[in-house]
Structure 1
Amino acid sequence: MEERYAFLSEWYDPTAALLRRYQLFYYPQDNTVEMFDVKNQRIFLRRTKYEDLHQEDLFVGNRVNVFSRQLNLIDYGDQYTANKLGSKKERTLALIKPDVVTKLGDVLESIYSSNLIVTKAKMTSLTWRQAADFYVEHQSKPFFNNLVQFVSSGPVVAMELMGDEAMSIWRRLLGPGDSAVARKEAPESVRAKLGTDGVKNELEFFFPSTIGHGPSNTAIFTDCTCCIIKPHAISAGLTGKILNSISAAGFQISALQMFNLDRANAEEFYEVYKGVVTEYASMVTELCSGPCMVLEIHGENTPKTFRDFCGPADP
């Protein structure tokens, strides 16, 4: 029997201002897709080849691009798909503390090489009270005050990691809780190499699923420029290398956050290029094809020096 994965998806139709629901079917043998209109009970897209969608993109909560339509995957379409693709997909929080933020590129390299993906990310600065609330379960421990003081001493980067058995993989990547012990027992671990420490963290604190946006980002909006790591680079696992290159060139990353842009947002962002460059449509399609990472690069005369560092838009 031919393998098929089914998802319930939503697409916002800007022309009709309606949220439309489709069943999305994906056939991994030949990379074909099919869509069924739930409301009108009819085929919307007959089975056709689509090379830009991959099995690793298929999980509830993700946004995928199918023939320029951004589909939000809101549920599994059948029990087989839920059992096959949903049973091992775990999410966990990675909190990069102040002493390791400058080595974020190295951390991301370790994450991507372990077949985990980063689905959310944000650089933020916690107040003493926010840090104390986050670590409230440890308030009776002797290390509590030092931990809170340390975490609130500078910017941190919170990331949601996802993958098969993500929690155990991230724990293994971190190594023993004491950095000195990690250097002896697990010299290749993140803690051994970068000297961080770990305590159980909660995703909801940084990435609320309901009301609110969590702690604010660290953007300062002066003497800075914007850098976007585009979806194709993130999908290829190049984020760590790019961040390392930026840091190695002497630039300061003063803010960082991941976004999933819809087409309207991407068109607005690139509006200045509309009618000016022939690649405008493809630029918009690329920017809304998956998650992007937005960086604030801070420093004197940064707009010019960073543009020179990046080089021409055409590789």
Structure 2
Amino acid sequence: MSTDYSNRYVFEAEWYDKVACILKKFYLYYYPSNNTIELFDLKTRKIFLKRTICEGIKAKDFYIGAVVTIFSRCIKIIGYADSYTKIKLETQLQKFFVLLKPDIIDKMGEIIKVITNDFHITNMKMMLLTATDVTECNFVKDTADKMSMINYLTSGPIVGLELLGENGIARWQELAGPENCKHVYSTTTSLLRACCGKNEMYNSVYGSKNIEMAMQELQYFFPNLKSENKGPKTTAILQNCTCCIIKPHAVQAKLVGAIIDDIQKAGYIITAVQQFHVNLINSEEFLEIYKGVLSEYTAMVAELQSGPCIVIEVTNKNEDSNIVADFRDFCGPMDPDIARQIKPNTLRAKYGKTKVQNAVHCSDLPEDGVLEVEYFFKILER
């Protein structure tokens, strides 16, 4: 095993071998000086992949929860394997909380596209805040504006984001701009608040001010499974809707913002969004309808559980329309190559790679729309 400890990171990682139906665990060594990778199999205690250059992978791709593609294998990073890596990366990388406020939810896709130029989105959820949530999270600074702020932040859905980036909080503040944005429109239109905000209250976005607040806010909005606090409630309406899943390969490729932007600009209404990590059993269960029907079933199961996916509840203003059929047509044919020939403006034509990695899953049958949304937002969300 390699012994160049001064310039390497080591992670705990796993890969599901769909041929052998085995979850394999590794030490993943990454050497940033020359972009090389080595995999050590923890069960056999042997080198699985000798140190080699892996094209398309960069240092910024290595963080807890990330999925990196190494010679067509989707390797998930699940932890740090030594204190050097933990201290080094946690010093460089910061996780923090960002809130997209109610009046810019219809521009969610545009804003996420900007955010993912600089940051990784490591968690995401559309939520409804209560007055208690607003007060407990100290979003109200001035007592005189307390009720106005509470009314504003509870007036509609918000989107909470867990972001990760190098020197993240300071870089976020640079991207967002001053809290009072009414004087910066003409000179700094690249700032998020300059583009979308109106004044110090209606300033489109909120971000953690420091590491201590970030930890508190992330625990409040994205509590761990053992926490008694379950976080603010989901916005899913579970009626007249269809299900769209942005698949793990598209999430990894930072296509979430572009896909959501296309959905919104096509006139669809997004009523719920949440990131999920779907395990193998749930992946098989959700896709069971395709078992024995599509030859790609096994590969589809492997893709859905290969990393985080973004699940979206989609509806429209016309309650008489068939939202499932309309949205399925908007997604395009399952095969992106066919989609590019006959429906080049569809989601799969624009963002898909193969019949399995075709960017999005969408409900097929009219009765499946609500059922698939309920599977995620009622069953798995618990």
- Measure the CA separation in 1 of the matches of 2:149 and 2:290: 47
Q: Which residue of 2 aligns with 1:307?
A: 328
Give the Å deviation of 1:24.
2.9
Q: Which residue of 2 aligns with 1:82?
A: 86
- Measure the CA separation in 2 of the matches of 1:287 and 1:56: 23
- 8 Å CA contact retained: 1:24, 1:36: no
1:196-235 equivalences under 5 Å are: 196-197=202-203, 198-199=205-206, 201=208, 202-209=217-224, 210-211=226-227, 212-235=229-252
Amino acid aligned to 2:232: P
- Measure the CA separation in 2 of the matches of 1:205 and 1:73: 22
Q: Which residue of 2 aligns with 1:189?
A: 191
Q: Which residue of 2 aligns with 1:94?
A: 98
Please list the CA deviations of residues 126-175 of structure 1 after superposition, one character each: whole Å capped at 9, or x if unmatched.
1222222222663x532222111100010000001111111112111111
Q: Which residue of 1 aligns with 2:257?
A: 240
Q: Which residue of 2 aligns with 1:296?
A: 313
Amino acid aligned to 2:332: G
Amino acid aligned to 2:190: E
The reply to whether residue 117 of structure 1 matches residue 134 of structure 2 is no
- 8 Å CA contact retained: 1:7, 1:77: yes
The reply to whether residue 126 of structure 1 matches residue 140 of structure 2 is no
Distance 1:190 1:51, change over 3 A: same
Amino acid aligned to 1:149: N
The reply to whether residue 277 of structure 1 matches residue 294 of structure 2 is yes
The secondary structure found in structure 2 opposite 1:250 is coil
Give the Å deviation of 1:200.
5.3
Q: Which residue of 2 aligns with 1:32?
A: 37
Distance 1:294 1:26, change over 3 A: same
- 8 Å CA contact retained: 2:125, 2:161: yes
Identity within the alignment, %:
36
- 8 Å CA contact retained: 2:221, 2:232: yes
Could you tell me which runs of 5 or more consecutive residues in structure 1 were left unpaired when the two chains were aligned: none
Give the Å deviation of 1:62.
4.2
Q: Which residue of 1 aligns with 2:285?
A: 268
Could you tell me which runs of 5 or more consecutive residues in structure 2 were left unpaired when the two chains were aligned: 209-216, 337-382
- Measure the CA separation in 1 of the matches of 2:134 and 2:88: 38
Q: What do you get for the CA RMSD once the two structures are aligned?
A: 3.1
Please list the CA deviations of residues 258-291 of structure 1 after superposition, one character each: whole Å capped at 9, or x if unmatched.
1122222222221111221111122122222222
Amino acid aligned to 1:86: E
Give the Å deviation of 1:179.
2.7
Q: Aligned match of 2:12 in 8, 32, 46?
A: 8
- Measure the CA separation in 2 of the matches of 1:200 and 1:55: 25
- Measure the CA separation in 1 of the matches of 2:95 and 2:135: 23
Q: Which residue of 1 aligns with 2:341?
A: none
Greater alpha carbon shift after TM alignment, 90-99 vs 174-183? 174-183
Q: Which residue of 1 aligns with 2:211?
A: none
Q: Which residue of 1 aligns with 2:147?
A: 145
- 8 Å CA contact retained: 2:97, 2:162: yes
- 8 Å CA contact retained: 1:105, 1:242: yes
The secondary structure found in structure 2 opposite 1:99 is helix
Distance 1:56 1:268, change over 3 A: farther
Q: Which residue of 1 aligns with 2:50?
A: 47
Distance 1:8 1:105, change over 3 A: same
Distance 1:266 1:53, change over 3 A: farther
- 8 Å CA contact retained: 1:6, 1:78: no
Paired residue total: 307
TM-score (norm 1): 0.85
Distance 1:54 1:260, change over 3 A: farther
Q: Aligned match of 1:257 in 269, 274, 289?
A: 274
